[in-house]
Amino acid sequence: TLAKIPVRAAKPRVLVLLAAGGQIFSTTDETYIGDLVERLGAVNVAKGTPSADPRQPGFVVLSLEQIIAANPEVVIAFRAVTATGAAAPSPLENLEKQPAWQNLSAVKAQRVHVLSSDPHVTAPGPRAVETLETLLPLLYPKQ
């Protein structure tokens, strides 16, 4: 999978979002999905941001202002599935209502993607290749 990354491709700036407990989190390289994004050569815009809870390293809360300043070229939002199998609300639900959200490079280029959080976030391990193959065309679309 990593061999499929275009050799001369620019490293896209990526924002990864997920929701938990009513809060929206971004992930840094200290998380499974954040690490996979970096392995694909992308720049994680949340990298270096301190964790909201030291018991949950790598999960950070970014304000809309921080997101706008980082101006990601790609947004990947993971939507959880409820116990009944229904899709939980999108982590983008409130962000998309903000006028400033429309100014992001990712929004203007229609590179905002909502994916199911399973297996991408909840099952690190053998499915990592599947996750990498899902993320690769989102980060490096064919020109």
Give the model's pLDDT for residue 47.
Answer: 94
Give the model's pLDDT for residue 121.
Answer: 67
CA distance linking residue 30 with residue 53, whole number of Å: 13
Give the model's pLDDT for residue 40.
Answer: 92
Could you give phi then psi for residue 26, rounded to 5 degrees? -105, 160
pTM: 0.90
Give the model's pLDDT for residue 20.
Answer: 76
H-state helical runs in 56-96: 64-70
- Spans of the chain, pLDDT less than 50: none
Q: Which two tokens stand for residue 89?
A: 């609300």
Could you give phi then psi for residue 122, rounded to 5 degrees? -85, -15
CA distance linking residue 14 with residue 20, whole number of Å: 20
